[in-house]
Amino acid sequence: MNEPPLKPPEEQLPRVVIVGGGLAGIATAVALAGKGLEVELLEAKQSLGGRAGSYREREEDGLVDHCQHVAMGCCTNFLDLCRQTGCDDLFTRDRRLHFFSAEGVRSDFEPASWLPAPLHLLPALLELKYLSWRDKWSIMRGMVALMRTKPETAAYESTVGQWLLQTRQTPAAIERFWKVVLVSALGESLERASLSAARKVFVDGFLANGRAADVLIPRVSLGQLYDERVAHWLRERGVRIRLGTPVKGLRLTAENKVQIDTMADTKTADVVIAAVPWRRLPELLDERLAAAIPGLADFAKIESSPISSIHLWTDRRLTSLPHAVLVDRLSQWVFARAKQGRNEQRHYYQIVISAARQLAGRERQSIIDEAWQDLQAIFPAAREAKLLSAQLITQREAVFSVQPGLNAIRPVQRSNSPALVLAGDWTATGWPATMEGAVRSGYLAAEAVLHQLRVRGSIEPKCLVPDLPRGLLARLLIR
Ligand SMILES: Cc1cc2nc3c(=O)[nH]c(=O)nc-3n(C[C@H](O)[C@H](O)[C@H](O)COP(=O)(O)OP(=O)(O)OC[C@H]3O[C@@H](n4cnc5c(N)ncnc54)[C@H](O)[C@@H]3O)c2cc1C
């Protein structure tokens, strides 16, 4: 009788474990999938997405995002992740923003496609009816000054509030333009946010490229996007996702691997990517891994900033606009959400208030009432409408606070141990707390892993996607 042929022993693939299934962990997994590694993603909660996640309040309303998330045309890495995972069809892309003054006067802000960046912003700025010519001139001066501010100047580490006063911006320009844009983009007040963070928003997000300021809004809930679509894409490519699996501890073994302790089991990996928030990281690491991260003790100095979202369900449509920016009001942005639930009679709106410290101590109902009054002042249809239900969600640790000095604390993704890599929006990417920052950190972490493991001979693997290109004029003007 012939002996059956012996099966060759299965190749032992390098084992990589990602701790944390927010966008940083997801991006790391996307970049490592299909690269000849055994990849496992451990997430404490029952769904992927982290802070960019959803919940189910009432069956009839479907999945509701904790807070509306918006991306911009300049978010090249986030958009790359969406394209790679086949999710780019799940976003609407707008060039036009709609600003409403406190009196309800609407100004459409649409960068001109026929002018080179950064001149493309000029017609849009001139359209803002609630600003005087003096205010507009002051804003133009401010933008030029921002473009000409060298990243290494001392002023860079002042607050943007101080800088706006130094550059003699008019009070209306500060309150009704700089504050409106920056507080939403940075999740921090002008008095606390650094000039470097503000420059990042304006230069990369508005001035450098004609499409940078495009607004991308998911047409589905964040849960459908990340926990369903992207998770499916990852599983199809062999990434093992374990939800409801909080990691209790990470230990460096004698073989320089990492032992991962969860409630359910203990495993080892060649490399672990810790993609958890900065406050969670120290408690996970044993002494040797902690020693591999320079400046770990300083992470406690990173402060966070709160964001509130107010969810309103009404008995009728309030506006045909998909979104609006409210000036001089408590409500900063309002989004008309596409119907996700089954009930055709309920129309869903979300209001976002960033850097929401002023809400602390205020009664929940008074905040909802004021937000509803904001909508009634802006949209005539809201005056006839019935508010069916409302929810206020405040995330106290929504985003890290982009204060002066932060860049010196943010760690790079590679640690001093080849077995430990960091990811998370708070690590060094140059970006504020955004989905783009999180994805960048994940791609950089993946580059570090591929480099450590010398996967498929790649010495300097590239996962990070370049910024939008700058035209000649932008290159001449921006330092
Ligand atoms: C209210 C709000 C509004 C926002 N709006 C926008 C916006 O409009 N546009 C934008 O670009 N960004 C926005 N952001 C920021 C964006 O959500 C974050 O920058 C991004 O999602 C951060 O991703 P992350 O993976 O770095 O962190 P997280 O999303 O915090 O992910 C960390 C993950 O690690 C998990 N974890 C922690 N400890 C453990 C453990 N021990 N074991 C296993 N898992 C663990 C957590 O459960 C979590 O899922 C907003 C954030 C908030 C809160």
Beta bridge partners of 250: 260, 285
The answer to whether the CB of 336 falls within 8 A of the CB of 323 is yes
What residue owns the CA closest to ligand 1's atom 52?
Answer: 398
Domains detected in the chain: 15-53+221-302+403-457 (3.50.50.60), 108-213 (1.10.405), 304-400 (3.90.660.10)
What is the per-residue pLDDT for 457? 55
Q: Give ipTM to 2 decimals.
A: 0.99
Instruction: Using a pLDDT cut of 70, give the percent of the chain over it.
Output: 94
Q: Is 243 helix (H, G, I), strand (E, B) or coil?
A: coil
Q: Is the CB of 440 under 6 A from ligand 1?
A: no
Is 80:308 a contact under the CB 8 Å cutoff?
Answer: no
CB of 21 within 6 A of ligand 1: the answer is yes
pLDDT band at 217 (very low <50, low <70, confident <90, very high): very high
Question: For ligand 1, is residue 69 a contact (CB within 6 Å)?
Answer: yes
CB 44 less than 6 A from any atom of ligand 1 = yes
Helix (H) or strand (E) holding 444: helix 435-453
Distance 261 CA to ligand 1 centre (A): 22
Q: Reduced to 3 states, what is the DSSP secondary structure of residue 307?
A: strand
Helix (H, G, I), strand (E, B) or coil at 49: strand
Q: In sequence order, what are the residues at sequence separation of 6 or more whose Cβ sits closer than 8 angstroms to the Cβ of residue 1?
A: none
Confidence of residue 459 (pLDDT cuts 50, 70, 90): low
Distance from residue 288's CA to the centre of ligand 1 (Å): 27
Query: In which element (H, E) is residue 91 found?
Result: strand 91-94
Tell how far the Cα of 451 is from the centroid of ligand 1, in angstroms.
26
pLDDT at 165 over 80: yes
- 389-415: per-residue pLDDT in tens? 999 999 999 999 999 999 999 999 999
Phi, psi of 448 (to 5 degrees): -65, -40
Look at residue 357 in the predicted model and tell me its pLDDT.
Answer: 95
**pLDDT (0 to 100) of residue 153:** 74
- Give 380 Cα–ligand 1 centroid separation in angstroms: 36
Query: Using one digit for the tens of pLDDT, what is the confidence trace for 410-438?
Result: 999 999 999 999 999 999 999 999 999 99
- Residue pLDDT, tens place only, 55-96: 987 777 788 999 999 999 999 999 999 999 999 999 999 999
The whole-angstrom separation of Cα 273 and Cα 31 is 13
Between 76-84 and 23-32, two packed helices, what is the crossing angle to 10 degrees? 60
Beta strands in 177-293 (DSSP E): 215-218, 240-242, 247-252, 258-262, 266-269, 271-274
For residues 291 and 416, give the distance between their C-alpha atoms in angstroms, rounded to a whole number.
8
Radius of gyration of the chain (CA): 24
pLDDT at 11: 67
What are 439's two structure tokens? 């994805």
Cα dihedral sign for 292, 294, 295, 300? negative
- CB hemisphere CA count around 257 (13 angstroms): 12
Pairing of strands 304-314, 387-400: antiparallel
Give the residues across from 422 on adjacent strands.
274
44 is in an annotated binding site: yes
**Residue 5 scores a pLDDT above 90:** no
Q: Strand 15-19 and strand 271-274: pairing?
A: parallel
- Residue 351: which H helix or E strand, with range? strand 347-354
Residue type, position 165, single letter: L
Question: 338 or 293: which carries more pLDDT confidence?
Answer: 293
